[in-house]
Structure 1
Amino acid sequence: MRFMTMIRIDENAGPEGGPSPELMEEMGTLLEEMTKAGVLLDTAGLRPTAEGSRVHWSHGKESVTDGPFTETKEVIGGYALLQVRSKEEAVEWSRRFARIHGEDWELTLEVRQVEEPPGEGA
């Protein structure tokens, strides 16, 4: 079973200067553990919304809005794609990722199963 963990952040609420070297080291250790366990398929942080665009489709009409998206408090700041045996296992790996951020961060991790093509997956 594959699960996508979307890491939601408030771009304006993180610690000054971004992640600390200690956090980056702990994150590297956890990601290495996840890779060795065979559960981490892909992961990345995302560039700020100021560098992004949104394509909106509504009733046959398209619009494109360039960032930053000031009307949005939380944005997806990164993701992890996991291959695990259960939703509970995906949630536990996501909890471990959240905990290494300590008290300086406010994160919401949304864990959702990936819809497998017919005939694939468990």
Structure 2
Amino acid sequence: MTRYLISFNDGAMDHIPEGDFPDVGKAAHAVVQDAVNAGVFVFGAGLERQRASVVATDGMVTDGPYPETKEVIGGFVVVDVTSREEVLTWAARFAGACRCEQEVRELLPDPELDAMLRRSDR
């Protein structure tokens, strides 16, 4: 299985009328429930709009927002699926539910991290 990040940019849902957000949330949660039932859901969340902190290598913290940033992630889900075709199917379902385009990126495998997680499950 391969893990993928499915995400959308902050502001991608700005075209949706305020009154439609309960329906969008319900539709998105239905897709999440289907992903949970299929055993492919890993984690997902929406992110605070333009609220971020950057921590430098020396520990210095710079707080946002960052108006010069063209695109930031507005929300995401991580799925663990068997193929690229399968993740694209899930992304299409999320795009329909959220009424906005979704970006799909494969997460790099990390066998050492997987081993740490398996040890912590004991």
Q: Same fold (TM over 0.5)?
A: yes
The aligned counterpart of 1:54 is: 54
Secondary structure in 2 matching 1:100: helix
Counting matched residue pairs gives 114
What amino acid sits opposite 1:117 in the alignment? P
Instruction: Compute the displacement of 1:13 (Å).
Output: 3.8
What amino acid sits opposite 1:71 in the alignment? E
After superposition, the C-alpha distances for 1:29-60 in whole angstroms (9 at most, x for unaligned) are 111111000011111111122x3212345xxx
| Equivalences for residues 1-122 of structure 1 within 5 A | 1-10=2-11, 13-15=14-16, 17=18, 20-49=21-50, 51-56=51-56, 64-102=61-99, 105=100, 107-117=101-111
Q: Distance in 1 between matches of 2:19 and 2:70?
A: 17
Which sections of structure 2, spanning at least 5 residues, go unmatched?
115-122
Instruction: Compute the displacement of 1:62 (Å).
Output: 6.6
Moved more, 93-102 or 108-117: 108-117
Deviating beyond 4 angstroms after TM superposition, the runs of 4 or more aligned structure 1 residues are: none
Instruction: Compute the displacement of 1:112 (Å).
Output: 1.8
Which sections of structure 1, spanning at least 5 residues, go unmatched?
none
Q: Compare the two structures and name the one with the higher helix fraction.
A: 2
Please report the RMSD computed on the Cα atoms of aligned residues, expressed in angstroms: 2.8
User: In 2 relative to 1, CA 44–113 (structure 1 residues): closer, same or farther, beyond 3 Å?
Assistant: same
Q: Compare the two structures and name the one with the higher strand fraction.
A: 1
User: In 2 relative to 1, CA 108–34 (structure 1 residues): closer, same or farther, beyond 3 Å?
Assistant: closer
Secondary structure in 1 matching 2:42: strand
Q: TM (normalized to structure 1)?
A: 0.74
Fraction of identical pairs, as percent: 29
Q: TM (normalized to structure 2)?
A: 0.74
What amino acid sits opposite 1:34 in the alignment? A
Contact 1:91 1:111 in 2 (8 A): no
Q: Distance in 1 between matches of 2:13 and 2:65?
A: 11
Secondary structure in 2 matching 1:71: coil
